[in-house]
């Protein structure tokens, strides 16, 4: 299941990140991929600008009310900042299973460019119900299982900027994460009824059964 996270970044945070990214040099995106057909640019991992902008993004994720319920984060990989100029694209692929010591259960794409500033550049995710295309407003993000095939379509006008991160979830099974998120949503909606506490109890008990031992949230 894909989870839309609206308004992850405030207007001020988005402006701050854009200002930071404008001060650094982007390099060939193939530096972090074995796909020769990958065609984009990215900030060098570990650069000062990437670290400062990444800290803003990670703080915004942790503060977002839906992030924890959708993803159940245990460890989050620092964001990778990418740029797609005219004609650039990223072919269909599945993310690597491990990035350093982080198991990539969930991928998150955070859109940084205004929709009217570019054309093309859709994030396309292969799902059980066919392909889903995402072109979200700047500051919004989509979280999806990193096990799914996905690609970025060719940019036909302007420049597409995004931050991509990966999460090791406390519950590695995507179907179980979806069930837990749905239970928590229902428990919250029915909080004032007799069903709310019972649903919350079921949520907590299932989380105890399925969470990886020793992993913090």
pLDDT digits (tens, 9 = 90+) for 83-126: 999 999 999 999 999 988 899 999 999 999 999 999 999 999 99
| CA atoms of 133 and 176, how far apart (whole Å) | 24
Please give the mean pLDDT across all residues of the chain: 92
- The per-residue pLDDT for 34 is 67
- The per-residue pLDDT for 73 is 93
- The per-residue pLDDT for 62 is 94
Q: How many helices (H) and strands (E) does the chain have?
A: 5, 16
The residue whose two tokens read 């749905």 is: 182
Neighbours of 206 (CB within 10 A): 15
User: Do residues 61 and 8 make contact, with C-beta atoms less than 8 angstroms apart?
Assistant: yes
Q: Which tokens is 199 given?
A: 């649903």
All domains in the chain, ordered by first residue: 3-169 (2.60.120.620), 174-210 (no CATH)
Note the pTM of the prediction, 2 decimals: 0.90
Please enumerate in sequence order all residues whose Cβ is within 8 A of that of 189, keeping only pairs 6 or more positions apart, or say none: 196
Q: What are the tens digits of pLDDT across the range 117-166?
A: 999 999 999 988 889 999 999 999 999 999 999 999 999 999 999 999 99
Distances (CA, A) of 183 to 34, 67, 74, 143, 171: 39, 15, 20, 18, 15
Please give the backbone phi and psi of residue 107, each rounded to the nearest 5 degrees, phi first: -105, 145
- The per-residue pLDDT for 216 is 45
| CA atoms of 136 and 70, how far apart (whole Å) | 18
- The per-residue pLDDT for 213 is 61
**Structural Rg of the chain based on CA atoms:** 18
| CA atoms of 39 and 82, how far apart (whole Å) | 11
| CA atoms of 217 and 85, how far apart (whole Å) | 37
């Amino acid at each position: 299941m894909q989870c839309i996270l609206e308004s992850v970044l405030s207007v001020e945070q988005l402006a701050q990140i854009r200002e930071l990214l404008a001060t650094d040099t982007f390099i060939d995106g193939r530096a972090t991929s074995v796909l020769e057909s990958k065609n984009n640019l990215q900030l060098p991992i570990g650069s000062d600008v990437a670290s400062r902008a990444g800290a803003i993004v990670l703080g915004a994720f942790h503060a977002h009310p839906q992030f924890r319920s959708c993803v159940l984060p245990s460890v989050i990989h620092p964001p990778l900042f990418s740029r797609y100029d005219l004609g650039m694209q990223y072919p269909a692929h599945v993310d690597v299973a491990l990035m350093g010591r982080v198991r990539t259960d969930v991928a998150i794409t955070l859109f940084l460019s205004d929709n009217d500033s570019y054309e093309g550049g859709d994030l396309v995710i292969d799902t059980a119900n066919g392909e889903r295309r995402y072109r979200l407003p700047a500051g919004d993000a989509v979280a999806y299982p990193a096990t799914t095939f996905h690609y970025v379509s060719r940019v036909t006008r302007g420049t597409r900027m995004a931050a991509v991160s990966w999460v090791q979830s406390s519950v590695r099974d995507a179907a179980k994460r979806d069930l837990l998120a749905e239970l928590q949503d229902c428990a919250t909606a029915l909080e004032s009824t007799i069903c709310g506490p019972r649903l919350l109890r079921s949520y907590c008990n299932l989380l105890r059964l399925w969470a990886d031992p020793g992993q913090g949230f």
